[in-house]
Amino acid sequence: MQNAKLDIMQTIQDGMQYGIQNFVALILMMFLYVITVWIPWLNVGTTIGLYKAIIGIGRGEVINPTSIFARENFTNVGSFFLLQGFVTIGITAAIIFMFVPAIVMGIAWGFAIFFLIDKKVSPLKALGLSYDATYGNKWRIFFLETICSICIGVITVVLGLIPVAGGVLSFIASLLCTAIFVAIMGVMYDFFSKKADAILAANQAKCTCEAPAAEPAAEPAPEPAAEPAPEA
């Protein structure tokens, strides 16, 4: 599983299915997010809630639009900010080396926030998991995301050129394409989540094998024999 390659066509097919299945719920969720994003602190929980929704969509679940307001979304805020800081600093440093390393690292760490939320690991562990799980698949991720972006742009522009109804059709198409793209991200995460589980299991087995065996308990020293009492 650790060496498995992302199936681009299957990912697109699953993404289209799950995106259409959750189209209405996802649009309602995005609407709720937009009208509340200006509220301090609440917007942090709703952002984490959106990531959770993407995870659920990628697993074929039907999401609840109001789940972005769930209380548990606020239980990991500190780690969320810490991870965002690590990613920002790392990618900013990578930009110095002519942008390409920054693109590679952006893809390699692209699922770290999902691992932080889903696997309940530390920010540094989430970065490491994302990097290891996407190993050998970075160009597939880049190609898939680029193709999706181009298709969305072409569809919305072409529909927008239709007289009279073009604007409405383009807007509806952009919403549907957004739902499908979000679902494709969820399907990709589900694939890499399974790879991460295999990595975690392998690391756990390795730690167990390398653990030193317990030393046998020391045998108690024999008691000295009692001396005979002197005769009277």
Of the candidates 61, 111, 58, the residue with the CA atom closest to the CA atom of residue 83: 111
The number of residues making up the chain comes to 232
pLDDT confidence of residue 14: 95
- The pair of three-digit structure tokens given for residue 19, joined into one six-digit string: 């995106």
Q: Say how far residue 14 (Cα) sits from the centre of its chain.
A: 17
Q: What is the pTM of this model?
A: 0.86
Q: Collapsing DSSP states into helix, strand and coil, what is residue 225?
A: coil
> Using one digit for the tens of pLDDT, what is the confidence trace for 79-122?
999 999 999 999 999 999 888 999 999 999 999 999 999 999 99
**Is residue 96 packed enough to be buried (19+ CB in 10 Å), middle (13-18) or exposed (0-12)?**
exposed
> Using one digit for the tens of pLDDT, what is the confidence trace for 138-163?
999 999 999 999 999 999 999 999 98
pLDDT confidence of residue 81: 96
At what angle are helices 8-21 and 138-160 packed, to 10 degrees? Answer: 50
pLDDT confidence of residue 232: 43
Q: Are 138 and 5 in contact (CB under 8 A)?
A: no
Work out the average pLDDT over 196-212.
82
Q: Is the pLDDT of residue 226 over 60?
A: no
pLDDT confidence of residue 203: 85
Confidence of residue 20 (pLDDT cuts 50, 70, 90): very high
Kindly report the average pLDDT of the chain as a whole number. Answer: 89
- The pair of three-digit structure tokens given for residue 137, joined into one six-digit string: 């698949």
Q: Is the pLDDT of residue 51 over 90?
A: yes
Of the candidates 127, 124, 85, 131, the residue with the CA atom closest to the CA atom of residue 104: 131
Q: Are 85 and 48 in contact (CB under 8 A)?
A: no
- The pair of three-digit structure tokens given for residue 152, joined into one six-digit string: 């969305």
Domain locations in the chain? 8-199
CA distances from 22 to 8, 30, 143, 172 (A): 21, 12, 25, 15
pLDDT confidence of residue 4: 84
Q: Look up tokens 């181009």; give the residue.
A: 150
